[in-house]
Structure 1
Amino acid sequence: MSSSHAPTSPPSDGEGPGTIVYDPNDPFWRDTEDDDDDMDYMPAEGGSDEDEDGQDNLSFHDAAERLSNLSGVEIAFEYTDDNDDDEDEDDDEDEENHDEAEEDEDEEEEGESENPRRPVYITREQIMQLLGHAGLGRIFASDLTPRSARRRPRIDEDEDEEEAESDEDTGYDPNIGPRRTSGRTRRPRGRAAFEKVPSDEGTQLMNAGTFGSNPRKEDTIKRKKRLAYDIMRRELGQGSDGRQKNANRLLKQDMIPESVADTIIHYNARCYSGQFSDDGNFFFSCAQDFRVRMYDTSNPYDWKYYKSVVYPYGQWTITDASLSPDNRFLAYSSIRSIVCLAPTDPDNEAEPNLLDFANIGSSNPRGFHTYFGIWSIRFSGDGREIVAGTGDNSVYVYDIERRQSVLRIPGHQDDVNAVCFGDSQSPHILYSGSDDTTLKVWDRRSMGDGREAGVFLGHTEGLTYVDSKGDGRYVLSNGKDQTAKLWDLRKMMSKEKADRIDPYSYTTRFEYRSNAYDFSDYRPHPHDCSLVTFRGHKVLKTLIRCHFSPPGSTDSRYVYSGSYDGSVYVWNLDATLAGKVNVLKATKNSRPRDPELLAETYDYWGRNSGSWMTCVRDASWHPHVPMIAATSWNGWGTSQGTCTVHTWNDGVEDDEAEPKVGRRVNAQLQHDDRLYRSVEGRSSRRQPMWYDDWMDDDQ
């Protein structure tokens, strides 16, 4: 609502209080009476326009008269002949004739009383006396200010144009306002406002071949083509080269890993993230005990423990890690301004190098005493730089050779939870996602004035992760509004347009760490420029991550995300669910209970925190084989962690081969029979002596 709609106060005589003008023709007062969407008042269930006490909505005159009777305060109405004392006399004469025509039309169409509607003057002193009455707040809805205006004013001109177009459809006249018989169309809320599934835009992307191949009809016979049939067709070599290549790509798409876990790696601390290297020969996992554990996965079905590195003075947890393109160095961060850079060579036991992102190259570097946490880091494609998203609302770019930050972009209004490069060949394109609900694109070649290249709007809560497809076009984000969204760089919003939109006008600032999301409060973002929206997972408690599936093992067919409910969700590009890896089911009761855990506490879902709980924070799809490694908060009350390896096995739940399906190992991949001893229900008993020794095995 623009500032021109605010009520005006005629000049005071210098002694008495000023007066507030009530003008029925002023859009501010008209919206206040007729637009229920922007008011605190909500109609009662059942469709009737009644307030909390069951009373009908009243006009301003009737409400004032009723309040006079209730409160004993006399309300005086002063009628004037003109709408604006500042108009010229010639204009006044024209306006009087125009107002008379409006009044006649109102009387004919709306059946109002014979008294003409004129501006009403009520003294401020009288209003202050009326404030003591309890019913005033319900009628005037918090001093007649719409809810959206109390949060932040919406000043976007495009939105005003859209509202004007919708008003034309409902009989809106800019001179006399909306007619009471029509009213405005209320925008849907809650689940009724969810996006269409399957998504039309996503279907077009799938059919275009950008995200995988599509099957080609060869005959009219409908059959379920299993893997053996597809392999036979490939071996026979039937069809053209194009058909054979398409058949090979289709083989990868059907191999979505199963819920049953091949291996369950148990940690004695929550596991925050884990990723395969680009070539698939390396895997690392980050835990809350400030250790990053590395594994040799050159044979993806036979992992080998590699080494561990430690963050020497971290805070709370290791927040993120990134592997250099040549796999020689691993960078990992905590809620500090320092990033540790450690060699991955198992024979190199040197201490990690400390990269101070607070050092911006000034004569007196700010050094270690400067405090800001780092939430996300990524290596550039050439391995020379690291980009970081930080708690001081900024994006930093650190030059490893120069040992200092070469760029700081204070481009957000809240924490920057996620950053990444556009692709491996373009270190000048950066993406950043923030708690201010925006996803921004930065081009370092044109940042002389610090301006972003573009903005993506659509999330109504803060972002938790950002991933690039690597083609310089498509970006994926996860948000606390319980959605993942796909974006196209060609559809990003310009800075000039985005600057006219306040992102905080469309968010409830949902506290995801301690509350369950209420979908009835959801209201779609009016400026959403995303292509596809994915739903079903839960983004709660922690910054849960999402990713594009790799081209080598999935033909880039899917996007996937972890979830607070203990699963990995895999979606087709049309937003339909392609598969689901149930980590909670695969790991439940897979280790002894912690004797120190309080079994009588509960989380906000009402689950007993002493029971087995799983929150999948991150997942990584192997680049060449049908395998997903999920890193989770896992165990009795999510007090510990796991990394579970899930592979495609054509629906087979049991496997007679070695290693056996579902084997349980410690952090060094050592098989331990003690992990198979279920002690569920024995939390009040003392654990055997081996329990304490086993808890320290991986230290």
Structure 2
Amino acid sequence: MAQPGDEERDSSNSGSDVFHDVPDDPMDPVYLDFAAARRQFAEDDEDEDDDDPDYRPHRVDDDIEEEDEFEDEDVDENDDNEDDEELQEENDEPPGDFALNVLGLLRENRVEGADAGIITRAQLLALLRNADFDGLDDDDDDDDPGPLWGLWGGRRRRARPYPKDPNRFPKVPSEEGEKLMQSGRFGAHNDDRRGRKGIFLRALDKELGLGGAFSRKKAHDLMVQDMIPSTRADTIIHYEDPVYSGQFSDDGNFFFSCCQDFKVRMYDTSNPYNWKHYKTAIYPWGAWTLTDASLSPDNKWLAYTSISTLVSIAPTDPNDTGDPYTLDLDARDDANAPMRWGRHRPNFGIFSIRFSGDGRELVAGTNSHAIVVYDIESRRVLHHIDGHLDDVNAVCFADKLSPNILYSGSDDTTIKVWDRRSMGDRREAGAFLGHVEGLTYIDSKGDGRYILSNGKDQSMKLWDIRMAMSTDRLREISGTHHTHGSGFDYRGNHYDEDDWDPHPHDNSLVTFRGHKVLRTLIRCHFSPPNSTDSRYVFTGSSDGNVHVYNMDATIAKVIDVRSATKGTRRIDRTNRPWLDSHSSWGTCVRDVSWHPTAPVIVASAMNGNHLSHGTCSIHSYTGAGEDGGVRPGRSVSEVIERDENRFVDSDFDFRDTFSEDYSED
């Protein structure tokens, strides 16, 4: 993306003596089509070996750089990282056979001469200017990304020398997961399926005091963990911009949402079924979006950040009207740093931020491949460690009560374990391998033992710190050798399952598959101990759902956020008449939060027509299979106010089907 201050290119380097019809502007869509086509044909001519182990998917911008020697020393090195969070339009489908035929004609012209082709270059240009290749495609398979998907940002398919083993995917149900479910560390377990009771019978037994103390405790735990919220949304909070994250506080008394408009909105949720907006905090130096936020252990302060070195810290007390204060996590002396847009250009941007267990430190994951540890009281950087080979998308502490052990997850596909007491030697204490694409998020169970991760390989993984790989072993096997540099672009709409192979050194316990980790950095979490007895793990998904998994990798429930929110924002016929329609409604659930004491889930999503807006939808357990007794969810503004000119209540009337596990005898 061109930025202010770009230098003019030398006109002698623009265009080509063969492709003289190509526009000079490298950002022109026609230029990009030709650049991609030239690269494709060059690869076909120069490398016919599809089994080449050195294969790397090409990038359109590489072609521009090679053909035009386009250089700009003033382009912000963070620009590419800002694009990491950009969304593609929902109906940006890759071209099919028609486009392939057109590019074939182009190749024939190139080989045989300007006048030898079947059609002229001017005609080819006119065809390539048609943005809707799909309308001319004879292929009926809408799910097939087409043979030229690599030209549009995804990974190009290759012929494979042998068929993949269909049994290479992790077994479901997972044997290790079943052991965890039976261990008692992840909720109560009832082995006697014949004696299973529904929630209402368990509640009746509890009220009547039937059974001994152990039986009553187990019945209570089984009852609580079965109360998974339903698809129907009680309330849908609408935002003008996409929502990137949203979480309850540990005590459940308030909820915060972070949006692309660089605002954090705080809500009083002491009654989780009746929210009240009470404060909005602003981040004035943002780049692209707010990337993350973290609550202090005492819930008094909220740290939030963007793709910048600056962290804002705002008080959460509704009576404290003071402005947030700012911390700069850039350790270097920037007196001589180059100026850009009136301020010093930072060394890095922050993707993830967390308070330590004692609230005295902040740890950040950055797009400079580094982990930063910052002392809040002294306002100085304690450690700035280049601990990964790619962006550090997520950080977290192992134990909420201890500041010593922390984790970092990166696009280099590794999770690394760090001991705060020995970070001075700049070496990790251990590592986890198993993802074959970059990580988007990591979450700790808070017990110092279990950790959960989401990856761009469309999988979520559970890890045990006791199985972490040693540093020496990591160096010995070259931990990223099998995965790093695959070229997969998660911002697209497709992941080819044929490209997936198990990691040869996978040391995870359980692998969960079924959700979609595309478009953006999707987040995952452990379910809370009080409201679910820590029974589940759950994640957002780019398919518009919340996926709730049992620990054995089986699906416990899918909450259809897209259906629950579809059509609740009125179509804007004034400003966007050509864009907005009900058929273009999309949902990408980026973050999910489960209330710590109530059966309530909040899905924070990019939502609306072409994902241009955002929602936080509140889903609760109805206990009646959504029998129609509860009115459809109300739609409100970001400050919990009705606005019938912009929003309408949901007319969703889908009835959840309870499995036999939850039915009464």
Return the TM-score normalized by structure 2: 0.71
Q: Given the alignment, which residue of 525, 529, 552 partners 1:547?
A: 525
1:157-180 residue CA offsets vs partner (Å, 9 max, x unmatched): xxxxxxxxxxxxxxxxxxxxxxxx
Please give the alpha-carbon distance, in whole angstroms, between the structure 2 residues aligned to 1:188 and 1:452.
38
Aligned to 1:637: 610
Match of 1:121 in 2: none
- The answer to whether the 8 A contact 1:418-1:466 is kept is yes
Higher relative contact order (CA 8 A, sep 6+): 2
| Deviations 1:480-530, CA, capped at 9 Å, x for gaps | 000000011111111111113251432523101135111111111111111
1:474 aligns to what? 450
Instruction: Tell me which residue corresponds to 1:531.
Output: 509
Cα shift at 1:436: 0.4
1:610-641, CA deviations, whole angstroms, 9 ceiling, x for partnerless residues? 61100000000000010001100000111000
Contact residue 664 and residue 675 of structure 1 kept, 8 A: no
Q: Which residue of 1 aligns with 2:390?
A: 414
C-alpha distance in structure 1 between counterparts of 2:165 and 2:572, whole Å: 40
Select which of 172, 189, 200 maps to 1:214. Answer: 189
Q: Which residue of 1 aligns with 2:564?
A: 586
Aligned in 2, Cα 1:252/1:448: closer, same or farther, shift over 3 Å?
A: same
2:599 to 626, 629, 651: 626
Q: Mapping of 1:187-336 within 5 angstroms?
A: 189=164, 192-215=167-190, 217=192, 222=194, 225-336=197-308
Query: Which of 418, 425, 449 is the matching residue for 2:425?
Result: 449
Equivalent residue runs for 1:574-613 within 5 Å? 574-595=552-573, 596-597=575-576, 599=578, 611-613=584-586
1:673 corresponding residue in structure 2: 644
- Aligned pairs for 1:565-580 within 5 A: 565-580=543-558
Query: What are the superposed Cα offsets for residues 280-326 of structure 1, whole Å, 9 maximum, x if unpaired?
Result: 00100001111100000111111111110000121111111111121
How many Å apart are 1:661 and its aligned residue?
4.0
**Inter-CA distance 473–594: structure 2 relative to 1 (3 Å threshold):** same
C-alpha distance 419-609 of structure 1, shift in aligned 2 (>3 A)? farther
- CA apart distance, 1:345: 2.1
Equivalent pair of 1:393/1:415 in contact (CA under 8 Å): yes
- Please tell me whether the aligned partners of residues 197 and 576 of structure 1 are also in contact (alpha carbons under 8 angstroms): yes
Q: CA deviation at 1:233?
A: 1.4
More displaced 10-residue stretch of structure 1: 418-427 or 500-509? 500-509
Letter in 2 for 1:396: V
Q: Tell me the distance in 2 between the aligned counterparts of 1:645 and 1:458.
A: 34
Distance in 2 (alpha carbons) for counterparts of 1:645 and 1:385: 32
Aligned partners of 1:592 and 1:679 also within 8 Å: no
397-406 or 566-575, which deviates more: 397-406
Aligned-residue offset at 1:194: 0.9
Which one-letter code corresponds to 2:566 in the other structure? K
Are 1:557 and 2:529 counterparts? no
Where in structure 2 are there 5+ consecutive unaligned residues? 1-43, 57-160, 338-342, 652-665
Task: Return closer, same or farther for 1:250/1:224 CA change in 2, 3 Å cut-off.
Answer: closer
Cα drift, residue 673 of structure 1: 2.3
Would the alpha carbon gap of residues 364 and 250 (structure 1) be closer, same or farther in structure 2, given more than 3 Å must change? Answer: same
Answer whether contact 2:443 2:452 (CA < 8 A) is retained. Answer: yes
CA distance in 2, matches of 1:190, 1:465: 29
Matched residues in 2 for 1:427 and 1:572: separation?
30
Secondary structure, aligned partner of 2:220: helix
Which of 480, 483, 487 is residue 506 of structure 1 equivalent to? 483
Partner Cα separation in structure 1 for residue 650 and residue 627 of structure 2: 24
Q: Are the counterparts in 2 of residues 598 and 610 from structure 1 also a CA contact under 8 Å?
A: no
Match of 1:662, as an amino acid? Answer: G
State the 1:672 CA deviation.
Answer: 2.3
1:609/1:545 Cα in 2 relative to 1: closer, same or farther (>3 Å)? farther
The 8 Å contact of residues 189 and 522 in structure 1, kept in 2 or not, is answered as no
Secondary structure of the corresponding residue to residue 403 of structure 2: strand
Question: For the structure 1 residues 510 and 516, does the alpha-carbon distance in structure 2 shift closer, same or farther, using more than 3 Å as the test?
Answer: same
Counterparts in 2 of 1:317 and 1:647: CA distance versus 1, 3 Å: same
Q: How big is each residue's C-alpha offset from its partner over 1:464-488, in whole Å with a ceiling of 9 and x where there is no partner?
A: 0000001111100000000000011
Q: 1:587 to 1:150 in 2, by over 3 A?
A: closer
Contact 1:461 1:509 in 2 (8 A): no
Cα deviation, residue 403, structure 1: 1.2
Q: Note the 1:25-44 alignment, pairs <5 A.
A: none
Equivalent residue, structure 1, for 2:123: none
Deviation of the 1:191 alpha carbon = 5.3
CA contact (8 A) 1:599 1:610 kept: no
Letter in 2 for 1:206: M
Question: Kindly tell me: are residues 229 and 575 of structure 1, through their superposed partners in 2, closer, same or farther at Cα, counting changes over 3 Å?
Answer: same
Aligned to 1:116: none
User: Compared with structure 1, are the counterparts of its residues 191 and 490 closer, same or farther at alpha carbon in structure 2 (3 Å cutoff)?
Assistant: same
**Could you tell me which of 369, 379, 402 is aligned with 2:378?**
402
Cα pair 2:407 2:416 within 8 Å, conserved: yes
Query: How many residues are treated as equivalent by the alignment?
Result: 499
| Aligned counterparts of 2:274 and 2:291: Cα–Cα separation in 1 | 28
Residue in 2 that maps onto 1:424: 400
* Higher mean displacement: 233-242 or 278-287: 233-242
SS of the residue aligned with 2:622?
coil
Residues in 2 aligned to 1:661 and 1:647: alpha-carbon distance in whole angstroms:
13
| 441-450 or 460-469: bigger deviation | 441-450
Which whole-Å CA distance do the structure 2 matches of 1:649 and 1:674 have between them? Answer: 29
2:383 match: secondary structure? strand
Distance 1:466 1:279 in 2: 21
How big is the shift at 1:370? 2.1
Aligned equivalents of 1:637 and 1:372: distance in 2?
30
What are the Cα deviations for residues 335-387 of structure 1, in whole angstroms up to 9, with x where unaligned? 10000011112232222111100036x79797954231111111112111111
Q: Name the residue aligned to 1:463.
A: 439
Q: After superposition, give the CA deviation of every residue in 1:581-623 in whole Å (9 maximum; x if it has no partner).
A: 110010000011234447579xxxxxx9961100000000000
Q: Note the aligned Cα RMSD (angstroms).
A: 2.8
Change (3 A) 1:255 1:678: closer
Q: Contact between 1:191 and 1:520, CA under 8 Å: does it hold in 2?
A: no
Structure 2 vs 1, CA of residues 594 and 504 (structure 1 numbering), >3 Å: closer, same or farther?
farther
Change (3 A) 1:190 1:621: farther
Distance 1:344 1:279, change over 3 A: same
Contact conserved, 1:189 with 1:521, CA < 8 A, in 2? no
| 1:679–1:443 Cα change, 3 Å | closer
CA contact (8 A) 1:295 1:305 kept: yes
Tell me whether 399-408 or 477-486 shows the greater mean CA deviation: 399-408
| Residue 656 to residue 503, structure 1, CA distance change in 2 (3 Å) | same
Report the CA distance shift for 1:136/1:365 in structure 2 as closer, same or farther (over 3 A).
closer
Task: Name the structure 2 match of 1:173.
Answer: none
Q: Is the alpha carbon distance of 1:319 and 1:609 closer, same or farther for their aligned partners in structure 2, counting shifts above 3 Å?
A: farther
* Superposed displacement of residue 420, structure 1: 0.3
**What is the alpha-carbon distance in structure 2 between the residues aligned to residue 408 and residue 350 of structure 1?**
31
Deviations 1:257-282 (A, max 9, x none): 00000000000000000000000001
User: Displacement of 1:230 after TM fit?
Assistant: 0.1
1:634 partner amino acid: N
C-alpha distance in structure 1 between counterparts of 2:259 and 2:356, whole Å: 24
Residues 338, 368 of structure 1: 8 Å contact kept: no
Task: Report the CA distance shift for 1:282/1:678 in structure 2 as closer, same or farther (over 3 A).
Answer: closer
Structure 1 residue runs of 5 or longer lacking an equivalent are 1-133, 152-185, 602-607, 681-699
* Kept after mapping to 2: 8 A contact 1:593/1:679: no
| Paired-residue identity, % | 54
- TM normalised by structure 1 equals 0.67
| Structure whose CA Rg is larger | 1
Q: Distance in 2 between matches of 1:190 and 1:335?
A: 41
CA distance in 1, matches of 2:347, 2:425: 26
Contact 1:258–1:649 (CA<8 Å) still a contact in 2? yes
SS, match of residue 673 in structure 1: coil
